[in-house]
Amino acid sequence: MADSFERFFSDASHLMKKSAIREILKLTQQPEMISFAGGLPSPDSFPIEDIKRVTSEVLEEDGRAALQYGTTEGDTKLRALLAERHRKDGLDLAPENIIITTGSQQALDLCGKIFINRGDVVLCGLPSYLGGLNAFSNYGALLKGIPLDDHGMMPEQLEKTIISLKQEGKTIKFIYIIPDFQNPTGVTLPRARRMEIISIAEKHDLLIVEDSPYRDVRFAGTPEPLMSSLDTRGRVMTLNTFSKILAPGFRLAWVTGHREIIDKLVTSKQAADLCTPPFVQKITAKYIEKGLLDINLRKTVELYRQRRDYMLKCFREKMPEGVKWTEPDGGLFLFVTLPSSMDAARLLERAIRKKVAFVCGSVFYCNNEGHNTMRINFSFSDEKDTCEGVTRLADAIREEMARS
């Protein structure tokens, strides 16, 4: 056996980083650990009995095709149903404008594969979703963060950054943005800013990758339009997923976009996995066709609204002075800001000893900032665990404050 395999690994492999969130999730397997770390949907939202019945119907009616290879583009009926659903968003799509992917993380990876040359710049939120940052970094992208305020990415900062990068001779490929209940902050981009960012992309000849996993998980307020529905030039591609509205175990997502982009994604995906499992696609198509998705989604939204409200109540009652947090109208997360003198990584060590876990906010910053922040998931834990977990976390924060 070789003493070391280092010499065999590619240059690209050295750019890859393990997900900090996935590594933390290993810790949550400890007994009595209460985890606010992962972006986990509640198992209480999974429509197990409905899926049993639909699965049996698929096997009885279309079992041969369901268990066979499928097209890379995805199941024809599922894509047609998704095109129809998107009409309520103001999108006039044909199935050819849609590709089914094996989770939206694959879609992010495929975006990196088809768009990024080593050294190209990707503009992203500061902070932004770690899975997206890692996917683009794996292809050698230089990540440039654009600050967020209470209403999301700041257009004036975006344009200043673009102008500055172009003056430096940098090649910018796209803007990566999560406009609805942004991960990790939970903030939502208003319509006016969406329009402004699209205008900036048009002015500077850039694409926009709109990541939209949480859009349908809204508890309050009026939905904002998809950026792709405001786009008239085909510059916006939108990533969607069933993980937050049906079941993450299906690993099922879809991308909408210009046909030329979708075609390139198809070619790229063929080298990755040939096709997303036809079995789960056909189950999902029938599930949608029977009207079950919307029924279960309403139940899921109400469940998560209750869990968000209860966690906010616990935070207001238990957190010490000097701790701030967001109060999102949807999604799965609160973003917590500690006093500037505190280090969330050091706090995490203390919290783990108290059997409560979270994700340090710094992992979402491409510029190594955010050391006094953390992301908290509210969708997974029931009220008992939420109350106990927030109590443990508040105690850890007080102890760390006294130490600082």
Tens of pLDDT along 176-219? 999 999 999 999 999 999 999 999 999 999 999 999 999 999 99
pLDDT tens track for 59-105? 999 999 999 999 999 999 999 999 999 999 999 999 999 999 999 99
Structure tokens at 307: 């869990």
State the amino acid at position 158 in one-letter form. Answer: L
Instruction: Give the mean model confidence (pLDDT) for residues 128-147.
Output: 97
208 forms beta bridges with 175, 236
Query: Quick one: DSSP state of residue 148?
Result: E
Is residue 93 domain-shared with residue 189, that is, in the same domain? yes
pLDDT at 4: 81
Judge if 196 and 246 occupy the same domain: yes
* CA–CA separation, 302 and 326 (whole Å): 19
Q: In b/e form, how buried is each residue of 193-207, taking b as 16+ CB within 10 angstroms?
A: bbebbbebbeeeebb
Q: What is the pLDDT of residue 28?
A: 63
Once rounded to an integer, what is the mean pLDDT over residues 379-397? 97
Residue-wise pLDDT for 12-28, tens only, equals 887 777 766 666 666 66
Domain that holds residue 161: 48-292
**Any idea what the CATH number is for the domain that residue 95 is in?**
3.40.640.10
Calpha distance 381→35 (Å, rounded): 8
pLDDT digits (tens, 9 = 90+) for 273-282: 999 999 999 9
Mark whether 206 and 232 lie in a shared domain.
yes
The last residue of a domain, from among 258, 292, 326: 292
Q: Which two tokens stand for residue 78?
A: 């599922």
| 161, 18: one domain | no
Instruction: Enumerate the β-bridge partners of residue 238.
Output: 210, 256
Are residues 38 and 54 both part of a single domain?
no
Greatest C-alpha distance within the chain: 65
Counting the structural domains of the chain, the total is 2
3-class DSSP state of 101: strand
82 vs 75: CA distance, rounded Å: 11
Q: State the pLDDT at residue 370.
A: 97
- Residues 104 and 239 both lie in one domain: yes
Tell whether 218 and 327 lie within a shared domain. no
* pLDDT class of 52 with cuts at 50, 70, 90: very high
7 falls within a domain:
no
Tell me: the pLDDT tens digits for 283-294? 999 999 999 999
How far from each other are the two terminal CA atoms of the chain, in whole angstroms? 49
Q: Identify whether residues 153 and 182 lie together within a single domain.
A: yes
Please say if the pLDDT value at position 1 is more than 60: no
Residue 241 near residue 101, CB atoms below 8 Å: no
Q: Residue 1 falls within a domain, yes or no? A: no
Residue 282 lies in a domain: yes
**pLDDT by residue (tens digit) across 293-327?**
999 999 999 999 999 999 999 999 999 999 999 99
Mean pLDDT, rounded, of the chain: 95
Same domain, residue pair 304 and 277: no
Phi and psi based region of residue 157 (left: phi greater than 0; alpha: psi -120 to 50; beta: remaining): alpha
Query: What's phi and psi for 92, nearest 5 deg?
Result: -100, 90
In terms of domains, do 216 and 229 share one?
A: yes
- Domain final residue pick, 243, 265, 292: 292
Distance between CA atoms of residues 119 and 98, nearest Å: 29
In a domain? residue 351: yes
- State how far the Cα of 222 lies from the Cα of 206, in Å rounded to an integer: 29
Distant-in-sequence, close-in-space partners of 268: CB < 8 Å, separation ≥ 6: 110, 113, 114
pTM (two decimals): 0.95
- Rounded Cα–Cα distance for residues 365 and 133 (Å): 9
Q: Of 73, 48, 50, 76, which is closest to residue 62 (Cα–Cα)?
A: 76
Helix axes 76-85, 278-289, angle to 10 degrees: 40
* pLDDT score recorded for residue 30: 76
Q: Is residue 264 part of a domain?
A: yes
Residue 113 lies in a domain: yes
How far apart CA 143 and CA 132 sit, in angstroms, is 10
Query: What's residue 10's pLDDT?
Result: 84
User: Is 5 a domain residue?
Assistant: no
Nearest to 254 by CA among 85, 8, 121: 85
CATH assignment at residue 356: 3.90.1150.10
Do 131 and 110 contact (CB within 8 A), yes or no?
no
pLDDT score recorded for residue 185: 97
Residues 322, 335 contacting (CB under 8 angstroms) = no
Last residue of a domain, one of 272, 292, 312: 292
Same domain as 126, residue 228: yes
Query: Do 368 and 381 share a domain, yes or no?
Result: yes
